Amino acid sequence: MGKTPEMVLFEALTEEGVETSDLTAKVGKEVVGVGMGPNMKNKWAAKKGAQKRVLLAIEDVWNSY
Protein backbone atom coordinates (compact mmCIF):
# COMPACT_ATOMS: atom_id res chain seq x y z
CA MET A 1 0.00 0.00 0.00
CA GLY A 2 1.43 3.37 -1.02
CA LYS A 3 1.61 6.49 1.07
CA THR A 4 -0.53 9.54 0.46
CA PRO A 5 1.10 12.60 -1.11
CA GLU A 6 0.61 14.40 2.21
CA MET A 7 2.61 11.77 4.09
CA VAL A 8 5.33 11.52 1.43
CA LEU A 9 5.83 15.28 1.64
CA PHE A 10 5.73 15.28 5.47
CA GLU A 11 8.41 12.59 5.65
CA ALA A 12 10.67 14.60 3.29
CA LEU A 13 10.70 17.64 5.62
CA THR A 14 13.26 18.39 8.33
CA GLU A 15 13.30 20.67 11.36
CA GLU A 16 15.94 22.83 9.62
CA GLY A 17 13.77 23.16 6.55
CA VAL A 18 14.07 22.12 2.93
CA GLU A 19 14.27 24.53 -0.01
CA THR A 20 11.11 24.32 -2.08
CA SER A 21 13.14 23.52 -5.22
CA ASP A 22 14.96 20.68 -3.42
CA LEU A 23 11.67 19.34 -2.08
CA THR A 24 10.20 19.33 -5.58
CA ALA A 25 13.26 17.52 -6.93
CA LYS A 26 13.07 14.93 -4.15
CA VAL A 27 9.35 14.03 -4.15
CA GLY A 28 8.10 15.42 -7.45
CA LYS A 29 6.00 18.36 -8.56
CA GLU A 30 2.74 16.41 -8.29
CA VAL A 31 3.37 15.35 -4.68
CA VAL A 32 4.26 18.91 -3.67
CA GLY A 33 1.18 20.22 -5.49
CA VAL A 34 -1.21 17.82 -3.79
CA GLY A 35 0.53 17.39 -0.42
CA MET A 36 1.54 20.94 0.49
CA GLY A 37 -1.96 22.34 1.10
CA PRO A 38 -3.03 19.72 3.64
CA ASN A 39 0.38 19.85 5.38
CA MET A 40 0.08 23.62 5.79
CA LYS A 41 -3.63 23.54 6.72
CA ASN A 42 -3.06 20.90 9.40
CA LYS A 43 0.03 22.79 10.65
CA TRP A 44 2.29 19.83 10.01
CA ALA A 45 4.56 22.13 8.00
CA ALA A 46 5.34 25.84 7.92
CA LYS A 47 7.05 28.13 5.42
CA LYS A 48 10.01 30.15 6.63
CA GLY A 49 10.78 33.63 5.33
CA ALA A 50 11.99 34.71 1.95
CA GLN A 51 14.27 31.67 1.69
CA LYS A 52 11.31 29.58 0.53
CA ARG A 53 12.13 26.85 3.01
CA VAL A 54 9.46 24.45 4.22
CA LEU A 55 9.92 23.33 7.83
CA LEU A 56 8.67 20.39 9.77
CA ALA A 57 6.25 21.96 12.27
CA ILE A 58 5.43 18.83 14.34
CA GLU A 59 7.22 15.59 15.14
CA ASP A 60 4.41 13.11 14.59
CA VAL A 61 1.28 13.42 12.48
CA TRP A 62 -0.60 10.92 14.65
CA ASN A 63 -0.13 12.99 17.82
CA SER A 64 -1.29 16.22 16.15
CA TYR A 65 -5.02 15.59 16.61
Ordered by where they begin, the domains of the chain are 5-60 (1.10.10)
Angle formed at CA 56 by CA 51 and CA 59, multiple of 5 degrees? 165
Statement: residue 20 has pLDDT above 60: yes
E strand residue ranges, the chain: 18-19, 45-48, 53-56
Confidence of residue 55 (pLDDT cuts 50, 70, 90): confident
Other CB atoms within 10 A of residue 56 CB: 18
Q: What is the pLDDT of residue 60?
A: 67
pLDDT digits (tens, 9 = 90+) for 21-54: 999 999 999 999 999 999 999 989 988 776 677 8
